[in-house]
Amino acid sequence: MQEQHFKNHTRLVAGYHGFTFLLILSLLVGSFINLAHSASENLYSASLICVVAVIFVMMFWFTRSFALKAQDRAIRAEENLRHFILTNKPLPSTLRLSQIIALRFASDDEFVELAAKAAAEKMRAKEIKQAIVKWKADYNRV
């Protein structure tokens, strides 16, 4: 696996983010086109296909969002523990979750200082990631 850094740390899974999304989108569009052109005797089945397509869209969205929320909670706990180990204090309460998630890429050497700076200056997640000198890779999050 190549070394991770700011420019390549995001990850897309082609089968999920690309292929599955396009198939569900095609089903959604096609089902409503089918509904618009269906005869009155096929209206019920065409409507059911539209409902199924909407259910797939919702499942696609919620499956991803629920997994990310669980990962975000784990990251917040891990980074709070890391900050506590390094300083005997919890993370500053003014840090937003997006800032904490960005801080996970900072090495221990710069983590505490960068966390304080991020809280004081209200840095955006992208700014935090760009400020990291020694990148700590996270290969587990998708």
Q: What is the pLDDT of residues 85-95, one digit of tens each?
A: 999 999 999 99
Per the rule left: phi > 0, alpha: psi between -120 and 50, beta: everything else, 80 is alpha
For the chain, the structural domain boundaries read 6-131
Angle at 100 between CA 120 and CA 137, to 5 degrees: 125
Helix or strand (DSSP H, E) at 37: helix 21-37
Residue 95: Cβ-neighbour burial (10 angstroms; 0-12, 13-18, 19+): buried
pLDDT at 26: 97
Q: Can you read off the two tokens belonging to residue 134?
A: 């020694």
pTM score, whole prediction? 0.74
Residues (pLDDT < 50) of the chain are none
